[in-house]
Amino acid sequence: MIIMLIDFKNLNLNQLPSKTEFEKKVKAFLEEWFSYKKTVSVQTSGSTGIPKIFEIKKPKMMASAEMTCNFLGLKEGNVALLCLPVEYISGKMMIVRSLVRHMKLIITDPSTRPFQNLQDKIDFCAMTPLQVENSLDHLHWIKNIIIGGAAVSESLKKKIFNTLGTKGSQRIFETYGMSETLSHIALKQIYPVSEAFFTAFENVDISTDERGCLRIFAPHLNAEVLQTNDLVEIKNDKQFRFLGRIDNVINSGGAKIFPEQLEALVKKEIPNEIVFIGREDERLGQKLILVIEGQESQGIINKITAIPFEKSFYKPKEIIFIEKIPRTPNGKINRIALKNIQ
């Protein structure tokens, strides 16, 4: 359901409705933004640990917003859509981007089907993979889409191409970033061109540490070098390929396995949500297990068995079906909770 339309060229806070919970949250953020406070409170997702609240300086959020708007060529009068929770940086930054570029912002309740009752043409929208999955029939209405919160699966990429064809006028990007980078610092186009590497924004320097994990220096966003736990392959001073989180790496029989890469391979063959995890094992150290969301299916098992894994130890030692893979409040897979499920 559309809640409200905010025209940031003619903003009047007193005229904004505040009947529903989401209306109140959006209005509260704008009041905080225009208050004397120099910072904004942001909640992390908790996908890699305990959720926490931290303060971000408003000029840094504006600098981040300008980078995205410049990269995508967004301009005054464009229509954007907010369909993400405003507790997190992703939702807050959609508001800030609309504000700094004087766009019109349609606001709808965050849900897995944000376009259910929407009939408007949209210039720019940020969505989760699940929202895109449930909105394939509406993608032709949106000129620029950025997808964040989780990796975009190969099966979803196929569905996007099948829906829009190979020569659509829309542009769809996967994002790379985190709360500490004020949303994303790099984009990778997945439609109509399918790119392998993320491209960092202007004034963002990338490098790796001794582990091969990405280091980010964006002085207009953060005065310090941000050390991530994301293993990457650096192509040049602006482009990198994400391999997986170092804390997700599975050590099985002395071999290091990147679950995110295996998940991308398997998702080319089956539509279900899947996650590779490592369970403690006396002989191997960690045993590679594939968890599949949905009812047990011999057909799915046969498809996985037929996959030509590059190495024999990439083949799961066990396949488990569960009704629902646990997620964090903003939709990311909760690997920590999943490992604790018996």
Q: What is the mean pLDDT of residues 141-150?
A: 92
Q: What is the mean pLDDT of residues 200-204?
A: 92
Contacts of 22 (CB under 8 A, 6+ apart): 3, 86, 107, 109, 110
Instruction: Evaluate if residue 192 carries a pLDDT over 90.
Output: yes
pLDDT band (50, 70, 90) for residue 181:
confident
pLDDT band (50, 70, 90) for residue 186:
very high
Q: What is the mean pLDDT of residues 142-150?
A: 93
Per-residue model confidence (pLDDT) at position 49: 55
Domain ranges of the chain: 2-245, 249-339
Query: What's CA 271's distance to the chain center, in Å?
Result: 19
Q: What is the mean pLDDT of residues 7-21?
A: 84
CATH of domain 2-245: 3.40.50.12780
Instruction: Evaluate if residue 119 carries a pLDDT over 90.
Output: no
Round the average pLDDT of the chain to a whole number and report it.
89
Which overall architecture, per CATH, does domain 249-339 show? 2-Layer Sandwich (3.30)
Instruction: Evaluate if residue 336 carries a pLDDT over 80.
Output: yes
Q: How far apart are CA 95 and CA 102, in angstroms?
A: 10
3-state secondary structure 20-43: CHHHHHHHHHHHHHCCCCCEEEEE
Residue of 305, 306, 227, 307 lying closest to 261 (CA atoms) = 307
pLDDT band (50, 70, 90) for residue 74:
very high
pLDDT band (50, 70, 90) for residue 34:
very high
Q: What is the pLDDT of residues 251-310, one digit of tens each?
A: 988 888 999 989 989 988 898 889 999 988 888 899 999 999 999 999 999 999 999 999
Q: What is the mean pLDDT of residues 35-52?
A: 75
245, β-bridge pairs:
230
- Long-range (24+ apart) CB contacts under 8 A made by 270-273 are 270/155, 270/300, 270/303, 270/304, 271/155, 272/300, 273/325, 273/333
Per-residue model confidence (pLDDT) at position 179: 72
Per-residue model confidence (pLDDT) at position 48: 52
Q: What is the mean pLDDT of residues 115-120?
A: 80
Of all residues in the chain, the percent with pLDDT exceeding 70 is 96
Predicted model pTM:
0.83
Q: How far apart are CA 209 and CA 311, in angstroms?
A: 27
pLDDT band (50, 70, 90) for residue 1:
low
More confident residue, 249 or 328: 249
Instruction: Evaluate if residue 340 carries a pLDDT over 90.
Output: no
